[in-house]
Structure 1
């Protein structure tokens, strides 16, 4: 899978990666030295924990959709706000509002450095 060359394409590329169901493809979208919050209140980092978090998301059967609310880019970093869901037919398995920090790679592509899948949910307080 090709990494996005524009920061505002990252959400679409991330959803496409998750929809392959392939761990390696999904992990290629991330800088696994970063942080992922795949469940509220549980930020993890480090390759092993990162992989476990992604496997947990991949275990939710259905199709992921990610809508970009905004993507603000400055130099080699960008911040995105998303609304995402995983649906199986008409059943919504999970839906949330996320915040992502993206980093431009030396080859000009973008990877997600910090993915707080629930970061824009009003009920999370200051997490």
Structure 2
């Protein structure tokens, strides 16, 4: 799977990566030194914790769809707001609104540095 060459394509590429069901493919979308928040209030960082988070999400069998609400880019950084879900036929297994920070890599591709999968839900408050 090719990494996106435009920040605004990161959400669609991430959904396609998840839909392969392959951990390594999904991991390639992320800078594992960043942060992923796979469930509200539980941010993780580092390769091992990223991999555990990805495996947990992949264990939710179904198709992931991600709609880009917006993507704002300045230089090599971009912030995106997404609405995403995992469905199995008509059943919605997970649905949320996220916020993602992407960074352009030296080769011109984009990786996600911070993925707060539930960060745009109403009433979400940062926990320190």
With normalisation by structure 2, the TM-score equals 0.98
TM-superposed CA distance for 1:125, in Å, is: 1.9
User: Following superposition of structure 1 onto structure 2, how do residues 64-103 of structure 1 map, counting pairs within 5 Å?
Assistant: 64-103=64-103
Distance 2:123 2:26 in 1: 28
Q: Given the alignment of the two structures, is residue 118 of structure 1 paired with residue 118 of structure 2, yes or no?
A: yes
Match of 1:33 in 2: 33
Cα distance in 2 for residues equivalent to 1:24 and 1:53: 12
Q: Distance in 1 between matches of 2:6 and 2:124?
A: 30
Unaligned runs of 5+ in 2: none
Q: Give the structure-1-normalised TM-score.
A: 0.98
Runs of 4+ aligned residues of structure 1 deviating over 2 Å after TM superposition are none
- 1:122 Cα offset (Å): 1.2
Aligned-pair RMSD on alpha carbons? 0.6
Per-residue deviation, residues 62-93 of structure 1 (Å, max 9, x unmatched): 00000000000000000000000000000000
Counterpart position of 1:57: 57
Q: For this pair of structures, how many residues does the alignment match?
A: 127
